[in-house]
Amino acid sequence: APVATVRPVQPQPSPEAQRSPSHPQALAALRGVRKSFGRRLVLDGVDLEAKAGQVTVVLGGSGSGKSTMLRILLGLESYDAGSARLLGHEVGELTRAQSRALMLQIGVLFQFGALFDSMTVNENVGFALRHVRRAPEAEIAERCALNLRRVGLADEGALYPAELSGGMRKRVALARALAHGPKLLFVDEPTTGLDPLSARSINQLILELNRELGVTILCITHDIGAAFELADQMTMLHEGRMIATGPPATLRESAEPALRRFLAAAGRS
Ligand code: ADP
Ligand code: MG
């Protein structure tokens, strides 16, 4: 492997500092991030912070660059300028070993769930534990059962994804994202393709994870209803920049024309 330059690791905040609501640390942050695909500038100086213990929601229309932002934080996409930090590390400077260690501390709920169709629910949920962390089978079984119970699917472990409804598949994907006990969970469009009741129960589950397990959440969505249901902090991405940031009430009252149009189109203003 090539010799990578390793930047000194930032001092980690104490557990107290991470829990203290008055000084929450950013577990994921973007500063002035720019990203183009060919001649199309998608992110034009994006700033974002997902603070410890909070649910942060990025709201934006389809094609506004939300998934690209997430992919940059996950190290799956390069960035042209600015800084992307994950759990105190600059993403572009991670060694492979550091990256692997960080990935064990985060979970990702991808937009379409992305379950392996040829594997049972149990095999899906246990995948990272078995193949990435190489945990003992007894631990895998225990964690699968715990996390399937958590998402209300205790009895569905032996089924295949094709035997489940869209809402149930999303729950399995959530159990899989949680199986290794991440402290930071990325969620891409949790409610897309779900009926209103399934959407609400997925949002409720995400909130429970945050409130009861203390998992920090960064969610990106174009669903205004979901955004207002979930967010402690909200920010709107429009034409490559964050045009409004703050608690939900601040965005509801913002005078930003693009945000007003977005809220009006959803019957929210
Ligand atoms: P969102 O998640 O907000 O819907 P995306 O981040 O998926 O938006 O995409 C933002 C823009 O970047 C879109 O115009 C999309 O077509 C473009 N884009 C995303 N990924 C690529 C890629 N790998 N190559 C070229 N264009 C891309
Ligand atoms: Mg997307």
pLDDT in tens, 148-198: 999 999 999 999 999 999 899 999 999 999 999 999 999 999 998 888 888
What is the DSSP code string of 51-65?
A: ETT-EEEEE--TTSS
Of residues 218, 180, 158, the one with CA closest to residue 28: 218
182 CB near ligand 1 (under 6 Å)? no
pTM: 0.88
Ligand 1 atom closest to 66 (CA): 3
In the reported structure, the alpha carbon of residue 68 is separated from the centroid of ligand 2 by a whole-number distance in angstroms of 7
55-83 pLDDT, tens digit per residue, is 999 999 999 999 999 999 999 999 999 99
87 class by beta-carbon count within 10 Å (0-12 exposed, 13-18 middle, 19+ buried): buried
37 CB near ligand 1 (under 6 Å)? yes
What residues have CB less than 8 Å from 183, skipping those under 6 apart?
A: 27, 105, 106, 214, 215, 216
222: left (phi over 0), alpha (psi -120 to 50) or beta: alpha
Q: Among 34, 35, 37, which residue has the most ligand 1 atoms within 8 Å of its CB, making it the best to mutate? A: 37
Digitized pLDDT (tens) for each residue of the chain, 269 residues in all: 444 444 444 445 444 444 444 456 899 999 999 999 999 999 999 999 999 999 999 999 999 999 999 999 999 999 999 999 999 999 999 999 999 899 989 999 988 768 999 999 999 999 989 988 899 999 999 999 999 999 999 999 999 999 999 899 999 999 999 999 999 999 999 998 888 888 999 999 999 999 999 999 999 999 999 999 999 999 999 999 999 999 999 999 999 999 999 999 988 76
